Chains A and B, each alone.
Chain A
């Protein structure tokens, strides 16, 4: 990482072209039904620089990047590439104009090789107009060599680790030889070694005069590689500053618009007796020997990179994927958890990581979404007690302040934050004793986030035992009494509230056990 930082210092800035800026975004406005995602946004990118884009989830960063990459079209405003006005109707047009994007979620085909993935849709052809696999392989090898990525072009992507896939994704984006490269949280799934590798690649691209827009949540990365920092909040552009003129504090207050400590409620933790013990819990090939205790009133944070097995532990506890070995002990009773139904009856609740995939029923109403887990408790002779349930849901809606025109509204029409609150309502109505939250604030805005934090804190104070899995370190640090850190399916260690810092967590999450 040091070498890459040194390299950035010696970059010869290319002579400015027709415009001083490579990319300019002027007064862009984008709305979705019911919400304004971007309001009158500006941004500009100089060639040969890295522009870091920061802001809470839901601040509008991803929407803006999707506009630049041609995935969305702005309602108003314009894009200028090298001083010329451009309009991208499709991602392909953006690519052809020299704008490539590395998406937050990986977009690779698991059953195809690395080479096939990289050249998808623009495969080199032989004179017979058939795909020239040899040439494709050579080109891929050349590209991987140039980027110092040690992978075989013939490997199937599905057999690679998440981190390796991320590197393939990066190689693919570089292969377009674009002038503007957008990276949406490229380091969320990779370890420190690969981060250093990525930064070296970025430095190299910079020296070639490319402009890079780098979205991240990690402060240290910003100060490491960014030349400039632009901050977004609630769909509005807050400001752009030189990275060396800022420090962590000023950046946070710019992002959040208030002091960070307000976000996380102060909590007197009357931690009670042990509710849950997990002993050597193992799911073959996914995680092994996970052991911890959970007390009532306690919030246990689970940190780790994507693919570290944290979500799998939650799913195994909840009976989604029953364990291969090990024990789950609730109130002294050893339980072999085999189905979510059983878990619910034992007083567990799981708010899943992916709201869309495993959370909401998009085509059903808010009430139907809320009541689904407690239907067995509110039926007589098969018939649902509609009125009682409606009152219950209405009460929950008020308590959690779910903003919806009515309980009959399709949940798909609600904002992410309100969907999340409705899902939380679903689980709270089951009166759980152990609440497992997997990324409870992913993709929701700061306001809803703060409300959810306060709610979690209140529930813990009332004696609920909470497990909170999160990728956002400030969230884990701000909420947890204790933090369990995982790496590649193993528990690397526990950190108490006092000893937990971002660095300590990242160390363990990268697989480095010896901390001191």
Chain B
């Protein structure tokens, strides 16, 4: 087992993940899926799937919301944790933000005295709600040591309940124009890409990123190496919460309404995007670029299946299978790479 001799030089070719990034293979998968739908398009509908700017824009817009969640969730998964609460937190912050973004033209506002607020008020409130949820998630996990699955499951249920309780299930509509501008046009895509870039850089070039990978790689060793693991976990979950809050703001602005049922099961799509993008649930491995591509794969599939007229229920069945296959392949790849 440890019978390794230093006298014999190790001449195995350096097949590190840096040399052949997993992103490349996922990107090829994305292109492949796109081309398959392209072929189906010409066969079944006699039109192009890819050469349709309207469809592509719509697809990327839809991907942006889940993508924002996935960027946060990816970081959580890299620490070998999980965040099940992102979809619910999105709904809660959408409700809170929307309730502060209503215009005074509307007679039945949630807070009649708080209408026509400057746009930063609802935005900050939405982000704040997300951040708070993340801080609570992270603190519970760091202090009590209960599994992240349970802690965020609790948050998932509670936040959804709170979102409903907030207006007793009523949607919040008639939002101010300055607020809905956040979700109009290509804004969601821009926000998504900027956030992706920020965290791509943060994970690769900052102490924050290095610590995140270290904690996921080996929590004990990270602690011994002088990393304040608990504090760092709180930070990571807080960032995931903040991004869920941001997603809530963008989603409610785009829909021009806040609804308690928003983002239902988005947390699973976000986790799926991360995992398809090569993030390992064991921790220590994962990149934002992969997650972005993973989210795009989900988006292309949803859009493509609708395009060629696959039944919505059937879509879910196929999506489920693809997620499982992605993880199986990932595990197989890891087994080949990490020996012993």
Interface residues of A (CB under 8 A from B): 32-38, 57-60, 62-63, 66, 234-235, 318, 320, 339-341, 343-344, 350, 352, 357-365, 368, 371-373, 375-376, 379, 382-384, 386, 403-406, 408-410, 412-418, 426, 443-445, 447-448
B6 touches A384 (CB 8 A): no
Other-chain residue from B2, B214, B280, B338 in contact with A368 (beta carbon distance below 8 A): B214
Find chain A residues with CB under 8 A from B5 CB: 35-36, 58, 234-235, 415, 445, 447
Tell yes or no: B266 within 8 A of A by CB.
no
Interface residues of B (CB under 8 A from A): 1-14, 16-19, 202, 205-208, 210-211, 213-214, 217-218, 220-228, 280, 284-285, 337-340
Known: A58-B3, A406-B16, A426-B225. 9 other contacts (CB 8 A): A32-B339, A58-B2, A365-B18, A368-B214, A375-B207, A384-B206, A406-B14, A416-B4, A418-B6
Other-chain residue from A343, A403, A413 in contact with B6 (beta carbon distance below 8 A): A403
The 4 closest A-B pairs by CB, nearest first: A415-B4, A361-B217, A37-B3, A443-B2
Find chain A residues with CB under 8 A from B222 CB: 361, 372
Other-chain residue from B208, B223, B228 in contact with A320 (beta carbon distance below 8 A): B223
Output the least CB separation between B332 and chain A (Å): 16
B10 touches A35 (CB 8 A): yes
Other-chain residue from A343, A406, A412, A415 in contact with B338 (beta carbon distance below 8 A): A412
Find chain B residues with CB under 8 A from A339 CB: 226, 228
Of B1, B210, B340, most buried by chain A (CB within 10 Å of CB) is B1
B214 touches A372 (CB 8 A): yes
Find chain A residues with CB under 8 A from B13 CB: 405
Find chain A residues with CB under 8 A from B223 CB: 320, 340
Find chain A residues with CB under 8 A from B19 CB: 408
B340 touches A32 (CB 8 A): yes
Task: Report how many A-B pairs have Cβ atoms within 8 Å.
Answer: 175
Given the known A-B contacts A416-B2, A445-B6, are A34 and B208 also in contact in the complex, defined by CB atoms under 8 Å? Answer: no
A341 touches B228 (CB 8 A): yes
Output the least CB separation between B230 and chain A (Å): 10
Find chain A residues with CB under 8 A from B1 CB: 37, 62-63, 66, 443
A398 to B124, CA, bound (A): 52
B10 touches A60 (CB 8 A): no
A361 touches B10 (CB 8 A): no
Find chain B residues with CB under 8 A from A371 CB: 210
Query: In the complex, which residue of chain A has the Cβ closest to the Cβ of B206?
Result: A382
Find chain B residues with CB under 8 A from A57 CB: 2
A412 touches B284 (CB 8 A): no
Of A340, A352, A371, most buried by chain B (CB within 10 Å of CB) is A340
A375 to B208, CA, bound (A): 10
Output the least CB separation between A290 and chain B (Å): 20
A38 touches B225 (CB 8 A): no
A403 touches B206 (CB 8 A): no
Find chain A residues with CB under 8 A from B208 CB: 382
Given the known A-B contacts A32-B339, A363-B338, A368-B210, are A444 and B2 also in contact in the complex, defined by CB atoms under 8 Å? Answer: yes
Query: In the complex, which residue of chain B has the Cβ closest to the Cβ of A65?
Result: B1
Given the known A-B contacts A362-B338, A405-B14, are A447 and B6 also in contact in the complex, defined by CB atoms under 8 Å? Answer: yes
Query: In the complex, which residue of chain B has the Cβ closest to the Cβ of A418?
Result: B6
Interface pairs (12), CB distance under 8 Å: A35-B5, A62-B3, A340-B223, A340-B225, A352-B224, A361-B221, A364-B217, A413-B10, A413-B339, A414-B10, A444-B2, A445-B7
Find chain B residues with CB under 8 A from A32 CB: 3-4, 339-340
A379 touches B3 (CB 8 A): no
Output the least CB separation between B206 and chain A (Å): 5
A33 touches B3 (CB 8 A): no
